[in-house]
Amino acid sequence: MQWKLWIQDRFSHPIFKNAGLLGLYKREFAWGFIALAATNAMTVIIPLLVQAAIYLMDPTAPENKDPGLFLKVLDQLDLGAYKTLDTVFWTIFATALINLVVRVASRQFLLGVGRKIEYEVRNRMYNHLLKLPVQFFSKYPPGELMSRMTNDVQIIRTLSGGAFMLLFNTVSIYLFSIPMMLMLSWKLTLVTFMLYPLSVWLMSKISDRVKTAYYAVQAVLGDISNQAQENLNGMMVIQSYAKEPLEAKRFEDLSNRYLDRMGDLIRQRVWLFLMMAVLTGVSMLLILGEGGREVIWGELGLGGFVAFTLYLERLSWPTMALGWAVSTFQQSAAAFERLDEILSAGPTEAEMTSTGPTQANTDPSQGLSLKQVTFAYPVEPGTEANLPALKDITLAISPGTTVGLVGPVGCGKTTLLKLIPKLYSLETGHIFLDGQDIRHIAIEDLRRRVVLMPQQSFLFSATVGQNIAYGEPNTSMEKLADTATVAGVHQDIEGFANGYNTIVGERGLTLSGGQRQRSALARTLLVESEVLLLDDPFSNVDSGVEQRIIEGLAARKTFADKITLMATHRFSILPSLDWLVLMDEGKIIATGTHTELLASQPLYQQLYEKQQTQSEEQETAS
């Protein structure tokens, strides 16, 4: 029963689980392995030719009792006239030359496959990441994902190219060499391999340590990558608070941890290599002792002994390198597990679309409605569940209506906006768009109809025009400029040296906070959508610019045919909205216009008065 469990455990190895990936290039593998086998077949011929050459130097010498297989074959073929040193020399030369050409071809096939698999794995992982919901990225920081997409994928490339090539090379050279060695001396062959069972047992023990050490190395490497990325993005904050020494010390500590973990990994790999080297050396000593005895007693000719040592020499490098191959297999097992952890993560956004019966969209005027929506942010399995961020939210908004979400910080406004385009998976309650549950709407279709402007005004390292046109890349320049005018950023852009062709830098750092936010607003307004979700769109805009934007939106009737849901802390815009939703602790407290809530809701009055006081203090200070 134990042997069945052992076999089952071995075939559950991540490499076997991902064998389909290797199968994509089975033709290249096949040709590479055929070429490699051919080179090893030619390699085993050369020791026989050397044996023949030694015999032909002095056929009458007592130690040259055996002419060898090559000369015997010539006799069998009635080619005795070719039993000369010249024939042996040119045969060795031709065999070595052909062997060189075929070996180069085998490496081109097999090492090329490694590069192709690296390309395939990296693309698969990146495409899968694009399909995962936002909640996934709160678990894995960017540095960790970058480490897996680079270091782990490189290990898999090494496995599928160099390690597989070395493993097959070792197996084939043994298969071709052992019969020849047995033919020369079965006693000497037995002495050669008597230590191998012990080495296999030791190799299995050390290889498990290699896998554990690799896991530790990659975990620290992910921390280093994440720390470096975070510090580079936050360099302005670091320098503003003169925290360069602190961050340098943190990075140094991580680097020291990496050095320790890598040192352990190197030690384990050295033990593997050293073990195989000792095995080869001890085998050579045993051969010298036993082989010398057989030559002295006439059991083995001198040419046969030299040929046998040449076979052992040809086995020595593959045997020593087998330790590296085993180490690579264990590292790749850990790499596959780390990548599978990402590739098996879900649900993907496509899976968040239910395959159940859908409700026909028969009445486009029904708008957006939420019914008894309750939501808590997901946590790791085995940890205590979070308190609900939203509790029993029921809301209905008709097309052409602009609704404001107001309330204290952390009351659930942003969470509510994120649920509508399915950035998070809704488990309790229902959200309907034009009478259809969003669970039944394909993610691409939903996000064409619903567009969200998040709190953080993220811009790509591209031109300001490309950033604004991100959702509508084929838009005309006229429409682009008109939308930027509505968002209050056109004049700023025109003031740049290159206008709309100005590169904004990574995350838009060359722009001010207000310019970034207004550019993000323009990007959102440019998309032709049914539902517009704005999360605090004026937080970095002064009151004068805010008023001009509001007037521009009203003049162009931007919200006339849309459902607009705006979360905001700026009370100056609230009187212009159709009605408001007051929230607190994840629940809806009241709905109504600005005037109605100001007259009837103490919480709203408190928030309003607090902001009025802050505005007056800012004006006094200025």
Q: What is the dihedral of CA 399, 400, 405, 406, to 10 degrees?
A: -150
Spatial contact of 367 and 401, defined as CB atoms under 8 Å apart:
yes
Tell me how far apart the alpha carbons of residues 263 and 149 are, in angstroms, rounded to a whole number: 23
Query: Mean per-residue pLDDT for 71-89?
Result: 75
- The pLDDT of 302-327, averaged and rounded, is 78
Q: What is the DSSP letter of 163?
A: I
Q: Is pLDDT of 243 > 80?
A: no
**How far apart (Å, rounded) are the C-alpha atoms in residues 586 and 370?**
14
DSSP 236: H
- Give me the pLDDT at residue 463, please: 87
Whether the bond into 575 is cis, omega within 30 of 0 = no
* 2-343 is classed CATH 1.20.1560.10: yes
Report yes or no: 454 and 539 within 8 Å, Cβ to Cβ. no
- 21 or 11: which leads in pLDDT: 21
Phi and psi at residue 298, to the nearest 5°: 75, 15
The third-level CATH classification (topology) of the domain covering 365-621 is Rossmann fold (3.40.50)
Residue 68 and residue 80 in contact, taking contact as beta carbons nearer than 8 Å: no
The residues pairing with 587 across neighbouring beta strands, listed in sequence order, are: 584
Give a three-class secondary structure readout of 103-136: HHHHHHHHHHHHHHHHHHHHHHHHHHHHHCCHHH
Is residue 359 over pLDDT 50?
Answer: no
pLDDT surpassing 80 at residue 152 = yes
Q: Directed axis angle between helix 302-343 and helix 164-184, to 10°?
A: 160
Q: Where are the domains of the chain?
A: 2-343, 365-621
pLDDT of 17: 63
- DSSP H or E run through 374: strand 368-375
Residue with tokens 């921390």: 223
Q: What is the pLDDT of residues 556-606, one digit of tens each?
A: 666 678 898 999 888 888 888 889 999 999 999 999 999 999 989 999 899
Confidence at residue 65, expressed as pLDDT on a 0 to 100 scale: 66
Q: pLDDT at residue 124 above 80?
A: yes
Q: What are phi and psi of 104, to 5 degrees?
A: -60, -40
- How far apart CA 619 and CA 232 sit, in angstroms, is 35
* Nearest of 287, 289, 291, 299 to residue 63 by alpha carbon: 299
Q: How does residue 13 score in pLDDT terms, banded at 50, 70 and 90? A: low
Helix (H, G, I), strand (E, B) or coil at 494: helix
Asked if 468 contacts 483 with a C-beta cutoff of 8 angstroms, the reply is yes
Predicted pLDDT of residue 355:
45
What is the model's pLDDT at position 431? 92
pLDDT at 3 over 70: no
From first CA to last CA, the distance across the chain in angstroms is: 83
With beta carbons less than 8 A apart as the criterion, state whether 254 and 220 touch: yes
User: Higher model confidence: residue 62 or residue 475?
Assistant: 475
Token code pair at residue 437: 């549950």
Return the SS3 of 531.
Answer: strand
Taking every pair of Cα atoms in the chain, the longest distance, rounded to a whole number of angstroms, is 123
> Residue 497 above 80 pLDDT?
yes
> What letter does residue 584 receive in the DSSP assignment?
E
CA dist 432 and 350 (Å) reads 18
Q: For the ranges 6-15, 249-258, 364-373, 444-453, which has the lowest average pLDDT?
A: 6-15
Residue % of the chain over a pLDDT of 90: 10
pLDDT in tens, 375-408: 988 766 555 667 888 999 999 999 888 899 999 9
H/E element holding 293?
Answer: helix 244-296
Helices 513-526 and 543-555, interaxial angle, to 10°?
A: 10
348 band by pLDDT with thresholds 50, 70 and 90: low
Q: What is the residue-averaged pLDDT of the chain?
A: 80
The CB density around residue 72, as the number of other CB atoms within 10 Å, is: 13
C-beta contacts of 182-190 below 8 A and 24+ residues apart: 183/69, 184/300, 184/304, 184/307, 184/308, 184/311, 185/291, 185/294, 185/299, 185/300, 185/304, 185/308, 187/290, 187/294, 187/299, 188/287, 188/290, 188/291, 188/294, 188/300, 188/308
Q: What is the spatial distance between Cα 85 and Cα 56, in angstroms, rounded to a whole number?
A: 7
What pairing do the DSSP bridges indicate for beta strands 531-535 and 368-375?
unpaired
How crowded is residue 462: how many other Cβ atoms within 10 Å of its Cβ? 14
Average pLDDT over residues 362-378: 78
Query: From residue 129, how far is each of 78, 135, 248 by CA, in Å?
Result: 69, 12, 31
d(CA 385, CA 376): 8
**Residues of the chain above pLDDT 70, percent:** 85
Confidence of residue 352 (pLDDT cuts 50, 70, 90): low
Q: What is the pLDDT of residues 499-542, one digit of tens each?
A: 889 888 777 777 888 888 888 898 988 888 899 999 988 888 77
Q: Worst-scoring range by mean pLDDT, 164-173, 230-239, 591-600?
A: 230-239
Q: Per-residue pLDDT tens for 445-486?
A: 898 899 999 888 888 888 888 888 888 888 889 898 988 888
Q: Measure the CA angle with vertex 97, ends 95 and 101; round to 5°.
A: 115
Does 365-621 match 2-343 at the fold level? no
Amino acid at 336: F
| 232, 469, 474, 489 from 477: Cα distances, Å | 34, 9, 9, 15
